[in-house]
Chain A
Amino acid sequence: MAVRVEREDFDVGAEIAQLTAGRTDIGAIVTFSGTVRGGSGTDAITAMTLEHYPGMTEAELTRVEAEAGKRWPLQASLIVHRVGTLKPGDNIVLVVTASAHRQAAFAAAEFLMDYLKTRAPFWKKELRADGQARWVAARECDREAVRRWEEVLPSRG
């Protein structure tokens, strides 16, 4: 169980290797990587800057990860989120979940991403091709995605 907020890029293969080194109790590893969309036409962007709330970000990611650990039998998990200025195609976020069987790993990875998107204090600002900068607006579908976990599963037990 680990969370990291950093400017540097990450290597998915190296992160998996580190998370699973010496482990023989893991049968399933799921990874999700989020990358910067470049957009097209009037939505084309040249860069994206990620701001966050140092201290609360790590605390919130740790709380979300602990919640996933209560809901599913995870052998290991990792959340890495980048901050600073990124270019289209760059990595933004990595979630890795490891379990004995795939169902728990898949579900926990999706849960972590859904909760991260609605709770972790990050804010994206896009720099458009025409030079305009614009804060990205929160999406209703992300809030709906997180609600379904509240319906399907009790939050405790």
Chain B
Amino acid sequence: MPVKILYFAWVREKTGKAEEILDLPASVTTVAELMVWLKGRGPEYAEAFAREEVIRAAIDRRHVKSTTALSGAREIAFFPPVTGG
């Protein structure tokens, strides 16, 4: 099933794209597994996700943990810790 993946701030700069539609393999079931899978897509992804532990994620515009299941997700975003205000 195609899922929209979004990247923000330095994650966007490192992957070189703001968003893309990807068909995720059935074996990718959590946010953490998706990060590992993305790292295998090319050196720019490996660089962007090199420090997985600092990257935050949202599913369908809500903050989630790396252990969260992707089931039913339409939009998944990856970004650094937020710095607004």
User: Which residues does chain B contribute within 8 Å of A60, judged by CB atoms?
Assistant: 61, 63
With contacts A53-B58, A56-B58, A56-B77 taken as known, whether A122 is within 8 angstroms of B82 at the C-beta atoms is yes
Q: Mark B44-78, 1 if CB is under 8 A from A, else 0.
A: 00000000000000100111000000000000010
A119, B83: Cα distance in complex, Å: 9
A83 closest partner in B (C-beta): B84
Report yes or no: B83 in contact with A56, Cβ–Cβ below 8 A. Answer: no
Stretch from B6-14, B22-30, B35-43 that touches the partner: B6-14
With contacts A53-B58, A56-B58 taken as known, whether A119 is within 8 angstroms of B63 at the C-beta atoms is yes
Report yes or no: B8 in contact with A51, Cβ–Cβ below 8 A. Answer: yes
User: Which residues does chain B contribute within 8 Å of A39, judged by CB atoms?
Assistant: none
User: Which residues does chain A contribute within 8 Å of B6, judged by CB atoms?
Assistant: 53
A141 to chain B, nearest CB (A): 12
Report yes or no: B80 in contact with A51, Cβ–Cβ below 8 A. Answer: no
Leading 7 A-B pairs by shortest Cβ distance: A122-B84, A138-B81, A123-B9, A56-B61, A117-B85, A136-B83, A124-B83
Kindly list 16 other residue pairs between chains A and B, CB separation below 8 angstroms, not including A51-B8, A117-B82, A122-B82. Answer: A53-B6, A53-B61, A53-B77, A55-B61, A56-B58, A56-B77, A59-B61, A92-B85, A116-B85, A119-B82, A123-B83, A124-B83, A135-B10, A138-B80, A138-B82, A142-B85
